[in-house]
Amino acid sequence: MSKVDVIRPGPPFETTLMVRDNCLCLHLQRAARAIARRFDEALRPVGLTNGQFSLLMSLNRPEPPLMKDVASLLAMDRTTLTASLKPLERRGLLVVSIDANDKRGRRLALTEEGLALLVEAVPLWNKGQAENIRMVSKPEIEKLLADLVALS
């Protein structure tokens, strides 16, 4: 008997089908991946992924935000955020500096190049946003967004 032929106890197949059809996490992940692919495609002309666009957009503020505040907004841990910042910093799109009020903190600021890239990227994002919104009925889009915010 090969390892493939080994029968082991497990949940009934009906449970698998129930989870497949009802799992909020599975369906959110599938939707998130599909949406992300559409945004990645829309943003490709400016060389950004949807995650990079969101990160850069989160820095578009009157004052440079603290790294911890950006990490919180993007639901990332600091290590993941630091790794995500590096390629954008190498491209000259942002700078990381020490916070004047707390030497342990880091502030993140867009450079002129970063701001200019966002100006180019926003119309592309709008196109991707419109494409994604077209897939959801108009009255439901605001409820969907509110429900997603409530879940995060």
User: What are the E-state strand segments in the chain?
Assistant: 94-98, 106-110
Instruction: Quote the pTM value.
Output: 0.84
pLDDT of residue 2: 59
pLDDT of residue 135: 87
> Strand 106-110 and strand 94-98: pairing?
antiparallel
**Range of weakest confidence among 8-17, 71-80, 89-98, 121-130:** 8-17
For 2, 3, 11, 144, the CA distances from 7, given in Å and listed in that order, are 10, 9, 12, 42
With beta carbons less than 8 A apart as the criterion, state whether 85 and 55 touch: yes
pLDDT of residue 103: 87
pLDDT tens-place string over residues 56-80: 999 999 999 999 999 999 999 999 9
